[in-house]
Structure 1
């Protein structure tokens, strides 16, 4: 995409519902990415690891949003968020 903007009131959920790993969410653009909303890739309450969030842009990135990557019964260190510019 040329540009991507996630507004503060926007929410993306790729979380597991019961058992399982959280999903993957990628916000990427060629020119401008603005991440101001909320992304949840939490692992399942009955087991599973946290998911993956990437916010990136080839030229201009503003990443001020909130993310939830934890797991209730997964690996002690889980979930991954990367910010690339």
Structure 2
């Protein structure tokens, strides 16, 4: 995908903690994913997780620090997607 980049230094997250959490959720892929970041958007950070078996998941998270004007509350978004 052309809009994928290496994860920006100041927007990294704890992949080991994510893998540990995911291991307790039935139906999610296992293993340590390769993490890349979608280049667009600063309001909410969006990552592509590619797992050893080829499965891909998109992870979205709120930005670090205060929300940018026009950003959506990720808690509200979680409720909509759940």
Q: TM-score range by the shorter chain?
A: under 0.3
Tell me the TM-score normalised to structure 2 length: 0.26
Which has the bigger relative contact order, CA under 8 A and spacing at least 6? 1
Tell me the TM-score normalised to structure 1 length: 0.26
